[in-house]
Structure 1
């Protein structure tokens, strides 16, 4: 890094403060607003010239760039006290390097704070409960918009000097997107950090909000005991423990841990995702313990904010239909045109806001009202707001009759239901989409792959292996027998043929 380098003629870069996801993070001074900020610079790999690998590396760099931009959009729209605020994004004209400007968090990582305690003076139970409760409150809001962090661990959490806990680095969350099902090109890629990975992550299976709860449970155990729940040895890997070992007893490791925390921890590390509590339930259980403070605390203490300002936000209620004025046909047409313009500028969430308003004010013209719902469902699916997308697409598909877009909408509905754990419904939608689909090889390939992943989750492993196996000739023809796509598909099939 150049000495006294000024990024984009505005941000004077200081020293490095960490790295994560796809970039390095530096302190910087915003010359325009006269404030300290954090700047995340996207990694720029050196690309060899004139070699067979150049094209593949260029494609990988372009994919990283797109994931970086998705991280920016997702982090920017969260607007939560537990996530660093996004101030700016751009490209440095001199280095052609993407950058993200964030709120600078003054404080310590949870990893450093944990290491400051020892067996002779462990972290207070109420302190640990306060940190975990704040993190749970943030995750409750994050999960509500179908974002899964996927890498909850102490080094990705900071305690601000005002006592607020911040969750960092949503770049890993976006490596696969918030979808429960990985894409074909992401087969074989395991996201997360081994000591904190859920059973489904360790197995390479679809993940959702329960995976973050599992990671937070591991963090809670580490705060209270100074070590992670499972220890890797020459004979037992982290993966083996997460898949097969029952969680240890917190009370056996530390006698002053209340029974309710031990019971909560056991539930957070349940092997089946459906058996784990929600983030809101974790918050509610820990809240009384976080407030049980004896003696004075300073401003940096994570117990300080617990007058209950950090409770998960309640969903906003829509006004009754009787209070909403109907929209004219001209207004509906205007919104459709504006949505198209926003789409060209990649402003998906602005488009969703317009469509939300339009759908809430039906014109009374069935064709137009249905078209608006179709677009809303499609954009919600594109933005990976799967809970809402599934509900809208369910309604749309009940009204759709003979539309050529039906297979694609069923595919979107199937992917959305899979993302929120409705695997039986997802299988029905994807099966129907393939039945009615045309000859588009790419659509059939992707839909078949998603269906092949889902079938074992509803007890039809043999059917899943058959569907995935049927894709191999197409992948060999399309990408080559030695491609990563074929190798990853073979690994996925082998894993299904060798159940844990």
Structure 2
């Protein structure tokens, strides 16, 4: 998982007991920006992963007089800017912006914190590091998504002011997110007095507009310029201007006209070349609006071009939202997102660590923190691949935890993978094998795969003891599945065979037996095509 920022984190590592508001566990650092640090965290109340952004600690003021006053005012301004980021980001409900869940103040240090959506993906800065240029449709789709986000951002009088590759992330499914509104400035009378004063330069030098460099007022056209710089870099591998010992980025942005993309990459379509030149116009009034940028890029973003195969992983193909709107992400990518996004290579898991992991997982499951337990096991599975026996044990724990968490669509195929290995090692009648057979049957049934459920229940019943309560339930569920797959007679016969087992356990007139009889009667009527004589209670 990559961060919203690229700078190293400073400050002490959190302890296992570091909780914000008694709810948000702060786990591991992700990155740090100008105003705050970002950590990977966990919401214990809702059992989900989150990103935690903490405002930097204010350095103690050791001077006196006017300097002390200035430092105190700067600290207050930074604090207000962080609060403004919270308010700004929270009201921008757009798929191109990370969702804000909560915010508050950490009691121990009086640091403001922001709880946000945790993103799994790669920043554009990371994706630009390859030897080959990115495919044109890929670049157009990425920039078009950012332009669409900017349209909504600008409509609420917000200017981002720091559009750059490290503030753009491509996540699974190809959705592009615009990150870090920490230097955004609100436009209009509601923003006065301005917290970022005229004459103060804010932004990143390779992507700053002329008006930013000069400290002049900024507006939506500033973001269009920054996006033009980013699009130029995507298509050519470098920003529109390069710093030298005699010419700074700032000097270029003020005085040097932008050059045609086709001088560097002749295959760039003329419409995109003209668009980027317009986006990099020196005067803000000469640049197109974000909506016009989107409309120009749209035909290229939705081009079904085979050249995309040369670009980043297809599960992060930014054309996906244009070519297959609302399409689900590939199953394999969804399963491995947490492990793969943490980076590679990962240190292998040894036996002692595996024991500690299993103990930790038991504690988390007992406390009801199932999603966090699954995260721990996902990581352990990725690290245990070098030792087959160790990997098998960790996968067993993962499958059991997924089942407990009702994540049946993940549990079922994992159980199909590990059961043959486990049965070959311990035997078909081993209690652990039998229990996992039953769990696999239920998981397949809940996931809607009746045939696979029947197969697993059948394997379980072949070796299970009839006094085991799971034996009765497996027969019952197999009967239901058989009936559902068109084998009505077999299904009803299986359900009939459950009656004496229930009668022996609870009595022939028990509520269990009566409920089974009603179920059988209902299925019999549906098999005969007549369900009007009654209904199942």
| Band the TM-score falls in, shorter-chain normalisation | 0.5 to 0.7
What secondary structure is seen at the aligned counterpart in 1 of 2:74? helix
Report the counterpart of residue 55 of structure 2 in structure 1: 42
Match of 2:187 among 169, 178, 181: 178
Q: Report whether the alignment pairs 1:158 with 2:169.
A: yes
Alignment of 1:271-282 (within 5 A): 271-282=282-293
Alignment of 1:361-380 (within 5 A): none
**Any idea what the Cα deviations from partners look like across 1:360-414, whole Å, max 9, x if unmatched?**
xxxxxxxxxxxxxxxxxxxxxxxxxxxxxxxxxxxxxxxxxxxxxxxxxxxxxxx
How far residue 293 of structure 1 moved from its aligned partner, in angstroms, is 2.2
Alignment of 1:217-236 (within 5 A): 217-236=228-247
CA contact (8 A) 1:21 1:169 kept: no
Alignment of 1:212-361 (within 5 A): 212-295=223-306, 298-307=314-323
How far residue 50 of structure 1 moved from its aligned partner, in angstroms, is 6.7
Cα 1:185/1:79, change in 2 over 3 Å: closer
How far residue 184 of structure 1 moved from its aligned partner, in angstroms, is 9.1
Cα 1:225/1:67, change in 2 over 3 Å: same
Q: Report whether the alignment pairs 1:168 with 2:217.
A: no
Alignment of 1:347-496 (within 5 A): none
CA contact (8 A) 2:141 2:297 kept: yes
Match of 1:143 among 132, 154, 158: 154
How far residue 183 of structure 1 moved from its aligned partner, in angstroms, is 4.4
Cα 1:236/1:39, change in 2 over 3 Å: same
What secondary structure is seen at the aligned counterpart in 2 of 1:305? helix
Report the counterpart of residue 108 of structure 1 in structure 2: 122
Report the counterpart of residue 359 of structure 1 in structure 2: none
Cα 1:212/1:308, change in 2 over 3 Å: farther
What secondary structure is seen at the aligned counterpart in 2 of 1:166? strand
Q: Report whether the alignment pairs 1:56 with 2:70.
A: yes
CA contact (8 A) 2:52 2:113 kept: yes
What secondary structure is seen at the aligned counterpart in 2 of 1:112? helix
What secondary structure is seen at the aligned counterpart in 2 of 1:264? helix
Matches of 1:185 and 1:298 in 2, distance apart?
40
Match of 2:46 among 19, 29, 33: 33
How far residue 55 of structure 1 moved from its aligned partner, in angstroms, is 3.6
What secondary structure is seen at the aligned counterpart in 2 of 1:299? helix
- What's the TM-score once normalised by structure 1's chain length? 0.58
How far residue 48 of structure 1 moved from its aligned partner, in angstroms, is 3.0
Matches of 2:238 and 2:192 in 1, distance apart?
32
Cα 1:170/1:184, change in 2 over 3 Å: closer
What secondary structure is seen at the aligned counterpart in 1 of 2:72? helix
**Any idea what the Cα deviations from partners look like across 1:51-90, whole Å, max 9, x if unmatched?**
3344432332222222111111111001000000000000
For the aligned residue pairs, the C-alpha RMSD in angstroms reads 2.0
Q: Report whether the alignment pairs 1:127 with 2:138.
A: yes
How far residue 2 of structure 1 moved from its aligned partner, in angstroms, is 2.8
Matches of 1:265 and 1:209 in 2, distance apart?
16
Report the counterpart of residue 357 of structure 2 in structure 1: none
Q: Report whether the alignment pairs 1:198 with 2:209.
A: yes
Matches of 1:6 and 1:242 in 2, distance apart?
45
Which structure has the higher relative contact order (CA within 8 Å, separation 6+)? Answer: 1
- What's the TM-score once normalised by structure 2's chain length? 0.54
- Paired residues, number: 305
What 5-or-longer segments of structure 2 have no aligned partner? Answer: 1-12, 327-537
Cα 1:187/1:287, change in 2 over 3 Å: closer
Match of 1:79 among 93, 104, 119: 93
How far residue 200 of structure 1 moved from its aligned partner, in angstroms, is 1.1
CA contact (8 A) 1:47 1:58 kept: no
Cα 1:84/1:57, change in 2 over 3 Å: same
Report the counterpart of residue 367 of structure 1 in structure 2: none
CA contact (8 A) 2:164 2:226 kept: yes
**Any idea what the Cα deviations from partners look like across 1:239-297, whole Å, max 9, x if unmatched?**
11111111111011002111111000110001111111110100011011011122377
Matches of 1:142 and 1:67 in 2, distance apart?
17
Cα 1:185/1:99, change in 2 over 3 Å: closer
Matches of 2:268 and 2:86 in 1, distance apart?
39
Matches of 1:173 and 1:79 in 2, distance apart?
16
Matches of 1:233 and 1:181 in 2, distance apart?
38
Matches of 1:308 and 1:270 in 2, distance apart?
34
Matches of 1:185 and 1:33 in 2, distance apart?
37
CA contact (8 A) 1:136 1:282 kept: yes
How far residue 103 of structure 1 moved from its aligned partner, in angstroms, is 0.5
Cα 1:271/1:92, change in 2 over 3 Å: same
Report the counterpart of residue 2 of structure 1 in structure 2: 14
How far residue 298 of structure 1 moved from its aligned partner, in angstroms, is 2.5
Matches of 2:202 and 2:133 in 1, distance apart?
31
What 5-or-longer segments of structure 1 have no aligned partner? Answer: 311-500
What secondary structure is seen at the aligned counterpart in 2 of 1:135? helix
CA contact (8 A) 1:130 1:290 kept: yes
